[in-house]
Every structure is written in structure tokens, then in C-alpha cells.
Amino acid sequence: MKVYLVRTADFQLEDFENVLNLLNAYPGTIDFVDGGTVELDNPYGSKIFRNKTKFEHQEQLDIMCSMSEYSTKRYERPIFPLKKKYYTWKQLFDEVEYYRNEQHVDLNDFVFLLTNQYNEKNWFAFLGPSLRTGFIHTDDWPWFFGDGTDIRYPIAYEVTTWVLRGLMCQNQKEIVTRFHKKTVGCVNDFCKNKTEITIKMRTADVCDACMQVMKNKDVPPHYLNQLFSVMDGIRANLMFRKRIGIINKDSRIKIDLDAKKIFLTDFGNLDVRLNPKELSLYLLFIHHKEGIALNSLHDHNEELFTYYQKVSGRFNKDEMQNTISLLVNYLDGELHTTLSRIKSKFKKAIGTELSENYYIQVLPTGVHGIPLNREGVEIV
């Protein structure tokens, strides 16, 4: 079975790809597939959230007002009253159904639209009449989980739970009737008060009653097994982030030379993408645990060249040697630019505080190096 994720351009590509990484980190017969980008028509209208309470509730607001522009650059906490453009559920489902037909998606496969756009009832997500088509709201997660939240975890979690609901219910009405109005820490909690979603995501559990329904509906056990693994994994990652200050442990990393990515295993396989130059320099420092003084980097010219040759995909030796000579020149700006790009990529992936041990920096000994514990480093 395939689960296609498509996005509107306002949901950042990097976040989108990492949601896919998270979901695909747990092997099984469900494939989570990059379905590309879609464009929505014009919104239906606008709504006003008069206050925080309204904003935090999944219910309809039917006040019409003038349009307002919305910037998606960085999460800005809303100020009330807040005006938002919104789409009707029908508009969103029609868009996804159109995509299904265009792409000849199998009837049993799921397609989810991931979008920062608001929907008429202010829900986190819902499935269309076929129960194989849905939308997931990708904005505002920091509002519920706190500013430091990595929104990719709750979004991946939502994808999982809506697949589960699609499999265990016959129609939209059944989905709604199976919701628990009171939050019990089950996947089927409705969370009318949207802030309660943090409870269900941290328990990542399914109550006995819902478990029985899944059994009665003959949801294939291998699907359940995979979906539960994803949910458990997301929970573990959320917890790993939360507890990292106390347990004082680095995430394992996997350096994939073909993909030119560094996967942060314990952060649910979130990836950091380095270009060949950055990756070669990173490999050099990974291999030199004790660190290297930047002004003696040229002593490692040959070793660096070997890495670059391996990952750059280039063949002209002179050109490659030129690139490396520039890179190891302490007085040239190239080295410092490359170092700062690597640093900012790690920061972007897991935040300033958590990224501290993973990038190249000045070690206590005064030379440059990567503090990361090498036991958890794997190069493939």
C-alpha cells in the first residue's frame, strides 16, 4: 500500500522531505511516497479567531471578513483577533481527488494534502468521503507544542493516525462517532481543545475499545504493526529531544555518501544535506577525532582529496585538486564559508541547542574538531 504526500508550496520542502524520512524510517509494506506539489484555487473566505480559546478549538467559525496576507517564513505567534483565509473541506478534498485521477492512484492508496492553509472547521486534519483522501494542517504546531518544537514529528504522527482511521472506519460518520470526546490518550481522541493533542502524541497509545474495532474490522496486522512502530518512534524522538539535557547522549549518525546526507538516527532519521565539498570536509574531521588546526589543514590535502573524489562525482583531477587547494587554504574565505554552512545546516535540522556536538567547531584543546562521540557514527 502506498501513502502519497502532496504539499502546497507554503509548507517548506525541507520539512516535507523530513516528514517522509520520519515515516519511512520504520520498514514495512506501507510506502510513504513524495507526491510533489499542488496549487490550490482561491480560498473560500476568511475567518476571525477572536481570541486564543477560539484559535485552540476545532470547530466552525463562520464570520466573513476581508482578506489578509499571511507570511509563512517563520512561526509568529498569533495576535488576536486574528484574520485567516480558509478553504472549505470540499475544496481541499476535491483538489486531492483531482490529483488522484491525474496520477492514476490506486483506489486503496492514500493521498494526503499537507498545507499551511486553514480549513473551514479549524481541524488538524480530516479524511474525505472515500477515506483515502485527506488534508493535514501543517501550520501552528509550535503554538501547541512550544516554540522549540520540531513540527515534523506531529505532522508525521497525524499522517499515521489518519491512515489508521481510514483503515478502521467505513465512512466519515463512523470516524466522527469513534472519536473520544474526552481525551484519554488514545489515537482517537478528538481534542476539541486542540492543546490536548500533546497528550495523545506523548502517550502514542490505542485504547482497548479502539484496539477491538481494529481487530473486528480485520485491519491487516502488518499495517498495524508498522503504523504503531511509527507512532512509538515519533514518541521516542519527542522524548529523546526532551530528555537530551539530562541523559547527555548524542544521537547516532549515519553518513550516507551516495545520498550526500547525514541522518540523525535518534532524531527519527532527520537528515542534513551537505554538498560534496562540505561532506568531504566533514568526513575529514570525523576521521580526526583529536581535531585539526585550521592553519595546518593543507597537511591533509591528500586525504581530503580522496573523500572529495569519492563524493563529488567529478572526474577531472586538476579541477578537483583546485577545489581542494582552495578549501584547505586557511587564508582563503572558502574554508570559513564552508564551515559556517555546515554549522547552519545542523542548526536548521535540529535547532541551535541540540546541534552543538555535531558540527565542526573549536574544541577545548584549541584546534577545530567535532565533539560527537564516534561510537555512534556509521559511514555507508
Residues that bind Zn ion (CB under 5 A): 186, 188, 207, 210
Q: Which is nearer to Zn ion, 230 or 372 (CB)?
A: 230
Q: Which is nearer to Zn ion, 113 or 168 (CB)?
A: 168
Cβ of residue 191: shortest distance to Zn ion, in angstroms?
Answer: 12
Cβ of residue 209: shortest distance to Zn ion, in angstroms?
Answer: 5
Cβ of residue 13: shortest distance to Zn ion, in angstroms?
Answer: 34
Cβ of residue 207: shortest distance to Zn ion, in angstroms?
Answer: 3
Q: Is 114 helix (H, G, I), strand (E, B) or coil?
A: strand
**What phi and psi values does residue 368 have, to the nearest 5 degrees?**
-85, 145
Distance CA 273, CA 144 (A): 28
Biggest distance spanned by C-alpha atoms of the chain: 70
Cβ of residue 205: shortest distance to Zn ion, in angstroms?
Answer: 8
Q: Which is nearer to Zn ion, 10 or 205 (CB)?
A: 205
Q: Which is nearer to Zn ion, 155 or 210 (CB)?
A: 210
Q: If you search the block for the grid coordinates 484574520, which residue do you land on?
A: 83
Q: Which is nearer to Zn ion, 200 or 260 (CB)?
A: 200
Cβ of residue 323: shortest distance to Zn ion, in angstroms?
Answer: 57
CB 273 within 8 A of CB 351: no
CB 238 within 8 A of CB 201: yes
**Long-range pairs for 294-302: beta carbons < 8 A, 24 or more residues apart:** 294/330, 294/335, 294/367, 294/368, 295/330, 297/328, 297/330, 297/335, 298/328, 298/329, 298/330, 300/328, 301/325, 301/328
Q: What is the CB neighbour count within 10 angstroms for residue 263?
A: 21
Q: Is 352 helix (H, G, I), strand (E, B) or coil?
A: coil
Q: Which is nearer to Zn ion, 206 or 339 (CB)?
A: 206
In one letter, which amino acid is 225?
N
